[in-house]
Amino acid sequence: MSLAKRIIPCLDVDNGRVVKGVKFVDIRDAGDPVEIARRYDREGADEITFLDITATHDNRDTIVHVVEQVASEVFIPLTVGGGIRVLEDIRRMLNAGADKVGINSAAVFRPEFVKEAAEKFGSQCIVVAIDAKKVSQEGEESRWEIFTHGGRKPTGINAVEWAVRMKDYGAGEILLTSMDRDGTKSGFDLALTRAISEAVSIPVIASGGVGNLDHLADGITQGKADAVLAASIFHFAEYTIEQAKKHMQARGIEVRL
């Protein structure tokens, strides 16, 4: 027995409320983030990730208050992503009680930001979030590219090469989301997950597409991920975290129960 594979529920937060978009449109309200975080903690979540999707800059303070409140009563690692663009954003989140921050488009615009962030705050708190989409055609060797703007804007950057570069720049972990699968409930892009996980020496969190508990287990056994992230299957109480862990354990995966 050794290190457990992690289950990480993700809360997409818009103006202080948890929402879940399907392919980043059609947003459903799923409740109060502090209350939901408390429930996930009780059910045995290994970490909690908050993704701030608040569009207007003025309302960004709401996520800080959410993190502060959660951090004062939930004692597991907390990650905050969304709108992290400058070192001051990171400091603000860490001071609010976050343990890690997720950097996404800011890394694409200026990769050195990841280097600066890791030097300033340590690799352990820098998660680079990668949104990737398959660009190869049927019959070709699989190839994925980085997309920004919620999956709408291609960058021409090869996803596997990007992950390696981000690791070299000091990322402590990769949060990998398949934009083809996000919100579809058809399972992770396992080939993508495996390609990235085998290319980097740092932990990889698989994200995007979980619709049932076998999908979570597949992310570990076939995708070779170190952790699996899901949102809607937990928010709408289709499954509890505990059920998910027991299912993974039954599939031969080591979990914290």
Partner 1 sequence: MSSVAVIDYGMGNLHSIAKALQHADSRVNVQITADAMVIRSADRVVFPGVGAIRDCMQALNESGLADVIREVAQSKPFLGICLGMQALLTDSEENDGIACLNIFPGHARRFADQMLDGDGNVLKIPHMGWNQVKQTPHPLWQDIPDHSRFYFVHSYYAAPDDQRDSAATADYPQAFTCALAKDNKFAVQFHPEKSQTVGLQLLQNFLAWDGNA
Binding site for partner 1 (CB under 8 A): 1-6, 41, 46, 71-73, 75-77, 94-97, 99, 121-125, 172-173, 198, 201-204, 224, 226-227, 256
Min CB(119)–partner 1 separation in Å = 9
Task: Select 13 or 48, whichever has its Cβ closest to partner 1.
Answer: 48
Q: Nearest Cα to 171, choosing from 111, 230, 238, 231?
A: 111
Kindly name the residue from 12, 189, 218, 226 that is annotated as catalytic: 12
Task: Select 29 or 198, whichever has its Cβ closest to partner 1.
Answer: 198
Is 14 known to be catalytic? no
Task: Select 159 or 255, whichever has its Cβ closest to partner 1.
Answer: 255
Tokens 């975290």 correspond to 241
Min CB(67)–partner 1 separation in Å = 11
Min CB(1)–partner 1 separation in Å = 6
Q: Nearest Cα to 200, choosing from 192, 211, 208?
A: 192
Say how far apart CA 112 and CA 129 lie, in whole Å: 15
Is 29 known to be catalytic? no
Point out which residues pair with 83 in neighbouring strands: none
Task: Select 72 or 142, whichever has its Cβ closest to partner 1.
Answer: 72
Min CB(173)–partner 1 separation in Å = 7
Say how far apart CA 128 and CA 135 lie, in whole Å: 21
> Residue 164: helix, strand or coil by DSSP?
helix
Kindly name the residue from 131, 180, 182, 226 that is annotated as catalytic: 131
Please state at what angle helix 190-199 crosses helix 213-221, rounded to 10 degrees.
Answer: 30
Min CB(174)–partner 1 separation in Å = 10
- Residues identified as active-site: 12, 131
